[in-house]
Structure 1
Amino acid sequence: MLEIIHHVLPEAFFDVLKTVPLLLIVYALLYYIENRLTNTPELLSRAAQFGPVVGALAGSIPQCGFSAAASALFSAGFLAPATLVAVFLATSDEAVPIMLAGGASVQQVVLLLVVKFAIAVIGGYVLRCTVFRRHKAGTDGPLEIEMGDCGCETSPVANILSHTIKTTIFLFVVLFALNMVVHGIGEERVASLMLTNSIFQPLLCAVLGLIPSCAMSVLLSELFVGGTISFGALVAGLSTGAGFGYIVLLEEKEGRHRALPVIAATFATAVIGGTLVQLLIG
């Protein structure tokens, strides 16, 4: 047990540490929007039609913490649900460098990013016109986050730092607990349960991807490079693998009723997309 803690503790610490600068920027942006911009609803309405494309492009950036930043914007009411789903679907976390280091070809990596981008854009627009047709950024109003409407006399810097520290601690505790479970089970045992050559493998990998940890993208990439899972299963797993995004999304109790449909839509789209890719490509 002590050996696992010795391995997992620094891993969780440095994974979360990488997201801190991005969270600072996002919470600073949220403070500015809440306190300085008077025409935010109008700007969001004009940008809404491009939401899934922009979200998919942003999610394609191989950055483990970007999904967390997008979730913070969504929780504050400044990101539409379909756009957040597009970000989640396009996110690959650490997959790109792990695949290249493990021997995957550049063509495979490019194909992965292109396929995930296409699923994110198509899925985002389909969801916006169906499941989320009545939900746009700002229509529900921003949540009562500490930095904006609290009426406090504390400085903007104190508010931004306070919210960033709170989210960082929450991320670390959850990620540490999850990584302890994963390491306790063992990656070899996980690999043995992956239903090799089965049509249900994308579904299984999508479930695995829901575990909010950047370690999942590493595991899925290694399983693909090792020939344990198909390309379609990799797509499905990485499409639900939004990492810290789910943790931040579920952090605020007031926003959980809005978070669950987003997670469900991400999962369903990832499974459908990954299964189709497996049938068409392998």
Structure 2
Amino acid sequence: MELFLDVLGESLVDTAKMLPFLFLAYLFIEYVENRHGERIEAILAGGGRWGSVPAALLGCVPQCGFSAIASNFYASRVISLGTLMAVFLATSDEAVPLLVSMPAYWDKLVLLMVIKVLYAIAVGLVLDFVLRGVLPRSLRGGYTGSVDEIDCHEEHSDEEGKPAPIWKAALRHTLEIFVFIFVFSLVFGLIVEGVGEDVFADALGRMGFFQPVVAALVGLIPNCAASVLLTQLYVEGALRFSSLVAGLCTGAGVGLAVLWRANPSWKQNLFITGLTWAAGAAVGVGIQIVVAIFG
């Protein structure tokens, strides 16, 4: 009981320190999405074969809404496969506001976002230009649908159809993530204290080369809890930075779930899911190799 109370108190204090940063981060996110959402959608839909560039920049905005929008656009053939993948790989869901709430990790956050955006652009351009002739025409997407047929703003309105106050949405997101982080911190702390920190770290460390591959699989879970889990494991020292990048590159939030619901071809959806995992695992392993060579 004494161990439980100690871990409980420590988890509560550590998590409570993040609340002001989390709320301000979500307030900014809600402002951007509500005041500039339609303009952002227009940019995403009008990018053509160069759509991966604005898609990666927009995708790095820390919320899963854009990945859902991109999935709807792809299912209606408004955007290309490269644009869709750029959004998926750049999306970081809850990881950004979580790291923003920890000033000690701001330098890692900047590095993380730069890697994700540049990698997302590169993968998108390769798909839309280099591999365009290899991919089946039905998989390429783009240029045949109409953006006017898609409504992506339902969840931002109240019961009467009026825009919901941004502070309420920001507060709701903050409290939801607060609960996620607190529960994870409590469970993780109890596990580490129970089995021993050295044993736990050694188990993850033994994954070696495969740690980013496993992290990329975790990132595919269509829930913000996956990005919270990966980020917390990294902060606790259980995951390497390369594994964090791998997991967050595949962490497209609800984007993959929306794709499976909106796109009628299960073969295309399976290919895109596998491609997302492979791309995330590849960049994680690549970073790991670079670090091993250059230290």
With normalisation by structure 2, the TM-score equals 0.62
The residue that corresponds to 2:280 in the other structure is: 270
Q: Which moved more, 1:104-113 or 1:189-198?
A: 189-198
Q: Which moved more, 1:48-57 or 1:109-118?
A: 48-57
For residues 14-29 of structure 1, the aligned pairs below 5 Å read: none
What do residues 179-206 of structure 1 show as CA deviations (whole Å, max 9, x unaligned)?
A: 9xx98xx667799597326111000000
| Alpha-carbon separation, structure 2, partners of 1:80 and 1:160 | 19
Shift of 1:164: 4.3
The residue that corresponds to 1:81 in the other structure is: 81
Match of 1:137 among 138, 142, 147: 142
Q: CA RMSD in A?
A: 3.7
Q: Report the CA distance shift for 1:239/1:253 in structure 2 as closer, same or farther (over 3 A).
A: closer
For residues 24-103 of structure 1, the aligned pairs below 5 Å read: 47-102=47-102
Q: Report the CA distance shift for 1:49/1:200 in structure 2 as closer, same or farther (over 3 A).
A: same
For residues 1-282 of structure 1, the aligned pairs below 5 Å read: 47-102=47-102, 104-128=104-128, 129-130=130-131, 132=135, 134=137, 135-139=140-144, 148=149, 160=151, 164=154, 192=200, 195-196=204-205, 198-252=208-262, 254-281=264-291
Shift of 1:121: 1.1
Q: Secondary structure at the match of 1:93?
A: coil
| Alpha-carbon separation, structure 1, partners of 2:255 and 2:94 | 14
Q: Secondary structure at the match of 2:261?
A: coil
| Alpha-carbon separation, structure 1, partners of 2:118 and 2:219 | 19
Q: Report the CA distance shift for 1:235/1:100 in structure 2 as closer, same or farther (over 3 A).
A: same
8 Å contact from structure 1 (residues 233, 274) kept in 2: yes
Q: Which moved more, 1:186-195 or 1:120-129?
A: 186-195
Q: Report the CA distance shift for 1:22/1:246 in structure 2 as closer, same or farther (over 3 A).
A: farther
8 Å contact from structure 1 (residues 206, 240) kept in 2: yes
Structure 1 vs Structure 2: percent identity of aligned residues?
37
What do residues 51-107 of structure 1 show as CA deviations (whole Å, max 9, x unaligned)?
A: 111111111111232211111111121111111111010111111221233454321
8 Å contact from structure 2 (residues 50, 125) kept in 1: no
Q: Report the CA distance shift for 1:226/1:122 in structure 2 as closer, same or farther (over 3 A).
A: same
| Alpha-carbon separation, structure 2, partners of 1:187 and 1:87 | 31
Partner amino acid, structure 2, of 1:63:
Q
Q: Secondary structure at the match of 1:195?
A: helix
Aligned residues: 220
| Alpha-carbon separation, structure 2, partners of 1:69 and 1:117 | 18
Note the residue ranges of structure 1 that are not aligned, 5 or more in a row. 1-14, 34-42, 149-158, 166-178
Question: If each structure's helix is expressed as a fraction of its own residues, which one has the higher value?
Answer: 2
| Alpha-carbon separation, structure 2, partners of 1:87 and 1:253 | 16
| Alpha-carbon separation, structure 2, partners of 1:127 and 1:187 | 39
Partner amino acid, structure 2, of 1:98:
L
Partner amino acid, structure 1, of 2:266:
R
